[in-house]
Amino acid sequence: MTETTLEMARAEIDPEAACPIAPVVDIVFSRWTTPILWALNEYGRQRFVELERRITSITPKVLTQRLRQLERDGLVVRTYHPEVPPRVEYEISELGRSLAPLFASLAEWAAGNLEKVERARQDYDGREPLPGRRA
């Protein structure tokens, strides 16, 4: 295979075919999605205000957007209770709950490796820049 043919073949590869988990990463690991799913999985059904309290740095607007997207993706169930005042609760769906083993594995990986990542970053940041590379 010539260099040009190889370059053309690489250009034609569908990114999702090259990395089949890419769509899952886009759905599950977008900003704020993981903390929301984690909170719903760990603490069960919650109202909007309860989620706001648990995820302190999220804005109400962003929480609303993420909850809608998670509901659309089938990972969260929204239940409206026509009471006075109206009550809305969110809970993780069965589909969302199926991510629990993945989250547990990631939490285990984080516990065993985040210090190593931090050390690697410090080592990298402390070394001399390579010739031709900006600091």
For residue 105, the model assigns a pLDDT of 94
Q: Is residue 62 part of a domain?
A: yes
Residue 10 has pLDDT above 70, yes or no: no
**Nearest C-alpha neighbor of 89 from the set 45, 26, 124, 130:** 45
- 47: tokens are 């109202």
The model's pLDDT over 18-28, given as tens digits with 9 standing for 90+, comes to 888 888 888 88
Q: From the CB of residue 11, how many other CB atoms can be counted at a distance below 10 Å?
A: 7
For the chain, the average pLDDT equals 89
**pLDDT confidence band for 11 (50 / 70 / 90):** low
pLDDT tier at 2 (50, 70, 90 boundaries)?
low
Spatial distance between the Cα atoms of 92 and 99, rounded to a whole number of angstroms: 10
Q: Give residue 16's domain range.
A: 3-126
pLDDT digits (tens, 9 = 90+) for 53-81: 999 999 999 999 999 999 999 999 999 99
Instruction: Tell whether 14 is covered by a domain.
Output: yes
Rounded to 10°, the helix 60-72/33-43 angle is 80
Sheet holding 87-92, edge to edge: 46-47, 87-92, 76-81
Long-range contacts of the stretch 102-111 (C-beta < 8 A, 24+)? 102/28, 103/34, 103/37, 103/38, 103/41
DSSP 85-107: S-EEEEEE-HHHHTTHHHHHHHH
pLDDT of residue 8: 59
Residue 39 domain-assigned (yes or no): yes
Per-residue pLDDT at 70: 97
Q: Domain for residue 7, yes or no?
A: yes
Asked whether residue 29 is assigned to any structural domain, the reply reads yes
Percent of the chain's residues with pLDDT above 70: 87
Report the domain count for the chain: 1
The CATH number assigned to the domain holding 73 equals 1.10.10.10
pLDDT of residue 135: 59
pLDDT in tens, 92-129: 999 999 999 999 999 999 999 999 999 999 999 998 87
Q: What are phi and psi of 72, to 5 degrees?
A: -60, -40
In a domain, 56, yes or no: yes
Q: Is the pLDDT confidence value at 12 over 80? A: no
